[in-house]
Chain A
Amino acid sequence: MLVLAIGLAAASVGWRAIVTARGLDDATLQAQVAAVAGALATAPDGSPRLALPPEMAAAFQAVGGSSVFVIADAARRPLLSSDPAVAAQLAPYLPERDGLFRVPAFPRHPEGMLAYAVYSGQWRVAVAQTREQSEALVSSLLDEFFTTGLVLLALIGAASILIGVVTVRNGLGPLRLASAAAAQVEPARPGLRLPEAGLPGEAVPLVAAVNQALARLEAALGAQRRLVGDAAHTLRTPLAILTARLDSLPEAPETAALRRDADRMARLIEQMLQMARLDGMPLDVSQPVDLHVIAVEAISALAPLAVRHGVQLALSEQTNIRPVTGNHAALVIALTNLVENALTHAPAGSLVEVILEPPARISVLDRGPGVPEAERSLIFERFGRGQASDSTGAGLGLAIVTGIAATHRGSVRATGRDGGGAAFALDLGTFA
């Protein structure tokens, strides 16, 4: 836009220069005509007599015929001239009144001529100039303009572009910061607001309104999360009563089934709480963590379950595990969920193995039915239980693992195993 404007300005200045050069031409011709007319007198015989000052006469000779004066009578017959051949060509075009006129092209001057005529007594006096000469003046003026004027104009243009850019940058810098802040807004960081400091006055109401909208959304999100957390929390006491009552019943197959149902509900509520907690607060993942300790804690927590299921649970550790930072409690929850998932699917008598592998991977391997390839991404979604699963999974465990992996800049994925079963790999981002 700016460049276009500068281009237009340059073109108009150029055009003005050409027009001015043409105007100068006219003025020169006029002056020359006036000088010639002034030096004209009438001889006693009635013929014109010209007494040009010597330097002027020389000038008419010197320019080599490109500038020509003609003195003609009323019948346009040339009487006196600096170049009779040209005068003969010019005479027929002498105008009726004082003024500028053009002489069409003729063999000596294929460009034609520009001339000015005045009436001086009974004579017509004209001075003609070749087109070449006029063009030469224009082109020299244009040269001048392009070499000095345009360079100057370009400098001015560049400077104004620079000043414009700097001004816009400075003025819009705070807006850029606000945009960057807006890009960071997500459910996990509902407390983010756009910075209002240093904004151009026109943008302040917009940014303030966006911040107020964000505050309202944060409040709504908080309320929703509290609802999930509170609901899960409040359900615990009645569930404790249910569990205690079931525990007080005499042993029977129905009682055992009811206990399993209650346990499953308890597990789901626990996972909802974990989820609400993970969603609700930012996790500090900057502490150095020991994957061995995490694995021991998770395995120890689930050892009684493994014993009840008759499943072997083992930990093996490869060397060169890279030190990682993270959140110990969250990683224990993640691994516990993976191991619990494996135990749920592992047949009695089989082995569930937790392996620590470099650079910073925790794998959980089971000999269950495995995860069909089509379901391998589905199972990590909330309540996205695979079809192959029996109904004991609560449906949030693996989603929680995904969430925890993501906050650790890591990933979790499921693959198959040679010999059958599933392999879950939790890779942790390694921090500098």
Chain B
Amino acid sequence: MRLLIVEDEPDLGILLRDALVCAGFATDLVTGIADADNYLRLATYDAIILDLGLADGDGLTLLCALRRRGGMLPVLILTARDAPEDRVTGLDAGADDYLIKPFHMPELVSRMRALLRRPNAALGVVLELGNLVLDTAARQATVGSTPLVLSPREMALLELLLRRQGRVVAREAIEQGLYGFDTTLGSNAMEVLVHRLRRKLAETGAHAVVHTLRGVGYLLGEPV
């Protein structure tokens, strides 16, 4: 996986590059729009991390030009601008995710991984959390070397939670993802399903816990 980092603050650029290299990405660091443009023409990247306030212009200019040329690679905007309208402008311009400074490096790495896992980004994705691994193409889950035996619905729920690990998946999203619009759901069908998944994760010793946010949804994370 090769990433292009566009960041004009030298210290932050170097820290970003080091952290992403450490996380297993190949990275190139440029400080301006002109350089970024040249690099994008010369090499093939899997994703871009783009700062907006650059010395030679607005990062959004680069993003717009990229999308106009038909470039579909995921773009994560990294910026100090956090007004809701900035966020909307960024996403409208074709950004896939938006991270506001300051941010934590593990958060950036996991968002980057999530972007690269998007259905149109790559097929046959392997999702991981701690010792839990889910191969979405083979429909197989393992904890360490132990296979995790799951019903199709439990598998679908785990995939949904793993794709947004560390973040809340709303009940509504689970309902739509698992049951479709036609199925009428028993009042505690989702609770029962989550309970079974949680028990199986615990039984196999997975370092992954389904946290309940009653009335809101569920969050898959590492144990506290």
CA of A234 to CA of B83, assembled, Å: 14
Per-position binary interface string of chain A over residues 232-255, scored 1 when its CB falls under 8 Å from any chain B CB and 0 otherwise: 011011011111110110000000
B122 proximal to A (CB < 8 A): no
Q: In the assembled complex, which residues on chain A have CB atoms less than 8 Å from the CB atom of B224?
A: 307-308, 310
Known: A240-B103, A245-B15. A307 touches B9 (CB 8 A): no
B67 proximal to A (CB < 8 A): no
B19 contact from A244, A277, A306, A354, Cβ within 8 A: A244
Per-position binary interface string of chain A over residues 315-337, scored 1 when its CB falls under 8 Å from any chain B CB and 0 otherwise: 11100000000000100000000
Q: Count of A residues near B, CB < 8 Å?
A: 36
- Secondary structure at chain A's binding surface: helix, strand, loop or mixed? helix
Q: Which residue, of A266, A300, A315, A329, has the highest number of chain B Cβ atoms within 10 A?
A: A300
CA of A300 to CA of B173, assembled, Å: 13
Known: A240-B102, A243-B103, A307-B224. A296 touches B214 (CB 8 A): no
Q: In the assembled complex, which residues on chain A have CB atoms less than 8 Å from the CB atom of B19?
A: 244, 247-248
Cβ-defined contact, B102 with A303, below 8 A: no
Cβ-defined contact, A243 with B215, below 8 A: no
Minimal beta-carbon separation of B32 from chain A (angstroms): 16
Q: In the assembled complex, which residues on chain A have CB atoms less than 8 Å from the CB atom of B215?
A: 314-317, 354
Cβ-defined contact, B211 with A307, below 8 A: yes
CA of A313 to CA of B216, assembled, Å: 9
Q: Count of B residues near A, CB < 8 Å?
A: 33
Q: In the assembled complex, which residues on chain A have CB atoms less than 8 Å from the CB atom of B166?
A: 304
CA of A221 to CA of B34, assembled, Å: 38
CA of A270 to CA of B19, assembled, Å: 24
Cβ-defined contact, B101 with A273, below 8 A: no
CA of A354 to CA of B215, assembled, Å: 9
Q: Which residue, of B11, B102, B168, has the highest number of chain A Cβ atoms within 10 A?
A: B102
CA of A224 to CA of B71, assembled, Å: 42
Cβ-defined contact, A243 with B104, below 8 A: yes
CA of A303 to CA of B219, assembled, Å: 8
In addition to A295-B216, A313-B216, A329-B84, 14 A-B residue pairs with Cβ atoms within 8 Å of each other are A233-B80, A239-B102, A241-B9, A243-B105, A244-B12, A244-B19, A262-B102, A300-B216, A303-B211, A303-B216, A308-B224, A312-B214, A314-B216, A315-B215
Which of B's residues lie within 8 Å of A, judged by CB?
Answer: 9, 11-12, 15-16, 18-19, 80-84, 100-106, 166-168, 170, 211-217, 219, 221, 224
12 A–B pairs (Cβ distance < 8 Å), ordered by A: A236-B80, A237-B12, A240-B80, A240-B101, A241-B15, A244-B103, A248-B19, A296-B216, A300-B167, A303-B211, A306-B213, A307-B219
